[in-house]
Structure 1
Amino acid sequence: MKISLFIAKRIIGSKSYKNSVSAPIIKIGIIAISVGLIAMHIAIGTGIGFQNKIKDKISSFEGHIRVSTYENNSTNTTLESIDPQMIRSAAETERISFVNSVAYASTVFKTDKNFAGGLLKGIDSTYRWNAFEDYLIDGRLPDIGSLISREILLSKHIARTLGVKTGDRVSSYFLFEDRLPIRRSFVVSGLYDSGFPDFDQRIAFADLRHVQKIYQWPTDQVGAFEITLDNFDDIHRFSEEVYDQVPAPYDVQHVKERYPEIFNWISLFDTNIALIIVIMIIVGGINMITALLVLILERTQMIGLLGVLGMQQWSTQKVFLYNAAYLIGIGLLWGNVLGLGLLALQHQTGWITLDPTSYYVTTVPIAFDVPMITAINIGTFVICVLMLLIPSLIISKVTPIRALRRV
Structure 2
Amino acid sequence: MNFSLFIAKRIRSQKGSSFSKVITRIAIGSIALGIAALIISMAIFEGFKQTILDKIVSQTGHIQVLKFDMNNSFETSPLSTQRNFYEDLKNQDYVSHIQPYTQKPVLLRTDEDLMGLVLKGIDKSYDTLSFKRNLIEGRFIAFDTSNYSKEIIISQDTKDKLRLKVGDDLLAFFLQDPPRQRKLEVVGIYQTGIEDFDERLVYCDQGLLQRLNDWGDTLVGGYEVFLKDFDDIDVLYDEIEANSDYDMYLQKVTNTFAHFFEWFSMVNKNVTIFLSVILFVALFNVVSVLLILITERVTMIGMLKALGATSSQILQIFFQNGLVILWKGILIGNIIGILFCLIQDTFKIIPLDIETYYMSSVPIAWNIPLILMLNFVIIVLVIFILWIPSIFISRIKPIRAIRFD
User: What is the TM-score of this pair, normalised by structure 2?
Assistant: 0.94
Q: Is the Cα–Cα contact under 8 Å of residues 72 and 78 in structure 1 kept in the other structure? A: no
* Other-structure match for 2:87: 88
- The answer to which of 241-250 and 66-75 deviates more is 66-75
Superposed counterparts of 1:54-73, under 5 Å: 54-71=52-69
Superposed counterparts of 1:119-130, under 5 Å: 119-130=118-129
1:166 aligned onto 2:166: yes
1:139 aligned onto 2:143: no
* Other-structure match for 2:290: 292
CA RMSD of aligned residues (A): 1.9
In the TM superposition, residue 73 of structure 1 has moved relative to its aligned partner by 5.2
SS of residue matched to 2:79? coil
* Other-structure match for 1:234: 232
Q: Is the Cα–Cα contact under 8 Å of residues 40 and 276 in structure 1 kept in the other structure? A: no
State how far apart, in whole Å, the 2-side matches of 1:131 and 1:318 are. Answer: 55
Q: Is the Cα–Cα contact under 8 Å of residues 315 and 389 in structure 2 kept in the other structure? A: no
Superposed counterparts of 1:104-119, under 5 Å: 104-119=103-118
Query: Which of 329, 339, 347 matches 1:349?
Result: 347
Give the direction of change, closer, same or farther, for the CA distance of 1:82–1:358 in structure 2 (3 Å limit): farther
State how far apart, in whole Å, the 1-side matches of 2:358 and 2:9 are. Answer: 52
Offset from partner CA, 1:280-315 (integer Å, 9 cap, x none): 111111111111111111112221232233322122
* Other-structure match for 1:211: 209
In the TM superposition, residue 45 of structure 1 has moved relative to its aligned partner by 0.5
SS of residue matched to 1:127? coil
Superposed counterparts of 1:317-336, under 5 Å: 317-336=315-334
- The answer to which of 382-391 and 226-235 deviates more is 382-391
Offset from partner CA, 1:9-59 (integer Å, 9 cap, x none): 22212225xx22233233222222222112211210000011111111111
State how far apart, in whole Å, the 2-side matches of 1:74 and 1:300 are. Answer: 79
Question: In the comparison of the two structures, how many residue pairs are matched?
Answer: 403
State how far apart, in whole Å, the 1-side matches of 2:248 and 2:289 are. Answer: 66
Offset from partner CA, 1:110-154 (integer Å, 9 cap, x none): 111111121111111222213222222222111112121101111
Superposed counterparts of 1:177-188, under 5 Å: 179-188=177-186
State how far apart, in whole Å, the 2-side matches of 1:200 and 1:235 are. Answer: 25
State how far apart, in whole Å, the 1-side matches of 2:202 and 2:404 are. Answer: 84
Q: Is the Cα–Cα contact under 8 Å of residues 103 and 118 in structure 2 kept in the other structure? A: yes
Superposed counterparts of 1:7-406, under 5 Å: 7-15=7-15, 19-71=17-69, 76-85=74-83, 86-146=85-145, 147-176=147-176, 179-405=177-403
Give the direction of change, closer, same or farther, for the CA distance of 1:299–1:173 in structure 2 (3 Å limit): same
SS of residue matched to 1:364? coil
Q: Is the Cα–Cα contact under 8 Å of residues 67 and 249 in structure 2 kept in the other structure? A: yes
SS of residue matched to 2:236? helix
Give the direction of change, closer, same or farther, for the CA distance of 1:354–1:25 in structure 2 (3 Å limit): same
Q: Is the Cα–Cα contact under 8 Å of residues 44 and 362 in structure 2 kept in the other structure? A: yes
Offset from partner CA, 1:218-275 (integer Å, 9 cap, x none): 2211111001122221222212111111112101121111100011112333223321
SS of residue matched to 2:75? coil
State how far apart, in whole Å, the 2-side matches of 1:400 and 1:196 are. Answer: 70
In the TM superposition, residue 367 of structure 1 has moved relative to its aligned partner by 0.8
Offset from partner CA, 1:327-362 (integer Å, 9 cap, x none): 122222221111111111110111212222222111
Give the direction of change, closer, same or farther, for the CA distance of 1:76–1:390 in structure 2 (3 Å limit): farther
Q: Is the Cα–Cα contact under 8 Å of residues 193 and 355 in structure 2 kept in the other structure? A: yes
Give the direction of change, closer, same or farther, for the CA distance of 1:256–1:406 in structure 2 (3 Å limit): closer
SS of residue matched to 1:131? helix
Aligned AA for 1:256?
A: T
Give the direction of change, closer, same or farther, for the CA distance of 1:106–1:340 in structure 2 (3 Å limit): same
Q: Is the Cα–Cα contact under 8 Å of residues 81 and 217 in structure 1 kept in the other structure? A: no
% identical equivalent positions? 33
- The answer to which of 268-277 and 321-330 deviates more is 268-277
State how far apart, in whole Å, the 1-side matches of 2:212 and 2:400 are. Answer: 97
State how far apart, in whole Å, the 2-side matches of 1:98 and 1:366 are. Answer: 26
Q: Is the Cα–Cα contact under 8 Å of residues 311 and 390 in structure 2 kept in the other structure? A: no
Aligned AA for 1:289?
A: V
SS of residue matched to 1:99? strand
Give the direction of change, closer, same or farther, for the CA distance of 1:344–1:251 in structure 2 (3 Å limit): same
Q: Is the Cα–Cα contact under 8 Å of residues 95 and 227 in structure 2 kept in the other structure? A: yes
In the TM superposition, residue 370 of structure 1 has moved relative to its aligned partner by 0.8
In the TM superposition, residue 72 of structure 1 has moved relative to its aligned partner by 7.2
In the TM superposition, residue 392 of structure 1 has moved relative to its aligned partner by 3.5
- The answer to which of 363-372 and 303-312 deviates more is 303-312
- The answer to which of 204-213 and 380-389 deviates more is 380-389
Aligned AA for 2:106?
A: T
State how far apart, in whole Å, the 2-side matches of 1:340 and 1:52 are. Answer: 18
